[in-house]
Amino acid sequence: MRAVIVAAAVAFIISLFGTPVAIRVFTALKAGQPIRSIGLASNQGKKGTPTMGGVVFIVATVFAYVAGHIALTTLPERQIAQEGPTMTALVLLGLFVFCGAVGFFDDFLKVRKRNSDGLSAKGKLLGQAIVSAGFGIAALYVPSTNGQTVASEHISLIRDISWLDVGKVGAVMVIVFVVTAMSNGVNLTDGLDGLATGASILVLGAYALIGFWQYRHWCADDAYGRVNDYCYQVRDPLEIAIIAAAAAAACVGFLWWNTSPARIFMGDVGALGLGGLIGGLAVVTRTTLLSIMIGGLFVIITTTWVIQIVSFRTTGRRVFRMVPLHHHFELAGWSEVNIVVRFWIVAGVCVAVGLGLFYSDFLAVVG
């Protein structure tokens, strides 16, 4: 537990004090956020606000993981920890960094061209697919120190579903879909000051709790797994908790500067990175289908976006005034702060229900 706290504290401090530095740097580089001329008039005042702030919490999370891992190797938990980074950590941090890199390239093109046209939709999807496929292969084909792979060949809900074995190729395809879908879901949610950041904090916090709970009831723990039938067959759950807690804390530090009116935007580098990490956390904790509930706000916003696109292309009619969904409520007269807080409430309810389902499964097995 102390390793998780150390990682969270380091991430929060780096992000809180590093974000003002990033604001000054990106302002000096004239890396302002371009705003579409056809967008909402209320958003035109945000033009020029520095973007790419997601770099701060990505860097903070990586450094915090190192600090947490060092703390881990000096604590009693060391008996089930390894000296270097685990394959689980490499997969999760790799998704975070490289999905963020795809977003960084998109942001860079937007800033350079001085308009909102960065990577094409196909180019962005291709980049996300390549990154998620690469790390899916690593998670399934490269075993950890005890011979167990990071990811599973089964579709999972709260644990692996034994009869849903899709094989390694099928599992890689599932990982690509989950990571890409979640990455784009967070990206679509990132449209109002603090909205995606706050929702991500809630989801990452949930996965920190899940990872730590799995660690406390871990099959690899000689003091627990050998005498219980309801342990969790996952790799390195304490490392999962460290990374999720560090990312959540880093987002808290960033949110201090990102609330309305935001002094810096996370940009696609932050949104795609966070979504990639959340998708990866769903895979490594064996909660792939449960992530639909835990990340419910992202799923809702993505689903309404798809409904709007399909409806307009097939019937020429719009179901919503504007998508993503938060812009629909802006046009309905809601203030930005009201939308953000209410969407956070929705995200919190989804997280609470997801955690409730996770714990109820444990109670059902124990009972």
CA-CA-CA-CA dihedral for 216, 221, 226, 227, to nearest 10? -30
What parts of the chain have a pLDDT lower than 70? Answer: 33-45, 73-84, 115-116, 144-146, 221-229, 366-367
Q: Residue 277: how many CA atoms within 13 Å on its side-chain side?
A: 35
Question: For residue 70, what are the domain limits?
Answer: 1-364
Q: What is the pTM of this model?
A: 0.93
Task: From residue 214, give the alpha-carbon distance in Å to each of 47, 138, 221, 235, 317.
Answer: 44, 22, 10, 10, 47
Answer positive or negative: Cα dihedral of 265, 269, 270, 271: positive
Q: Alpha helices, DSSP H only, in 29-86?
A: 54-73
pLDDT score, position 79: 46
pLDDT score, position 185: 96
Q: Using an 8 Å Cβ cutoff, are 171 and 245 in contact?
A: no
pLDDT score, position 130: 96
Structure tokens, 336: 């930005």
| Total domains, the chain | 1
Q: Is 268 annotated as a binding residue?
A: yes
pLDDT score, position 241: 95
Q: Is 187 annotated as a binding residue?
A: yes
